[in-house]
Amino acid sequence: NEKKREGLIEYPMRKARVRYLGSPLVNKKLRCVVMSLDTGTVIVPHNGAVISFGKDMPLSELPVRGDTLSLLFRTNVSDKTPFEFAVGGTPRLVRNGKAAHEASIEGSTARRFISGNLSRTAVGVDKTGTLLYLVAVDGTHRANGTRGMTLSELAGVMKDLGAWNALNLDGGGSVSMV
């Protein structure tokens, strides 16, 4: 609902809608052109992205319509190899067979995100890297009796399933298994 969205921290942030001027790759600069600058709910453009700027960004430093920007999404491993497809998330849930989310190490401090019984998705691989685990957790709903999971619970489930390494993906309303 609109009132709930307006209360989110991202809602009042300034956002630039950009159109890619090439094919996006991880580990390679991508030029893009600013289509508009706005706040509130912003539609992601076809062949583009939305870039959010913090409230601490001075107005004089924000891009304007027509500006060309360079974006760079990098990995910390194989950083010279361009990737066409990548999946990102936070935090890591299982590392080398040990279930312990790394939210604080990765900079996530929101208590609700860490300890809330929320809808969640996760991806993991077994020790050999040949078996992929995809998990979707339904959130808290009184009507059907589900309650979601905390990050610690999700880490435990991923390890119990056999994940040697696992990562939390997006949650909330985007959780679905298709």
The pLDDT tens digits for 95-139 are 999 999 999 998 888 999 999 999 999 999 999 999 999 999 988
pLDDT of amino acid 78: 83
Question: What percentage of the chain has pLDDT greater than the value 90?
Answer: 61
Q: How far apart are CA 87 and CA 75, in angstroms?
A: 11
What is the distance between the alpha carbons of residues 148 and 117, in angstroms, rounded to a whole number? Answer: 4
Q: What is the distance between the alpha carbons of residues 25 and 21, in angstroms, rounded to a whole number? A: 12
List of long-range contacts for 125-133, beta carbons under 8 Å, 24+ apart: 125/163, 125/164, 125/165, 125/166, 126/162, 126/163, 126/164, 127/97, 127/164, 131/162, 133/158, 133/161, 133/162, 133/163, 133/166
Whether the predicted pLDDT of 2 surpasses 70: no
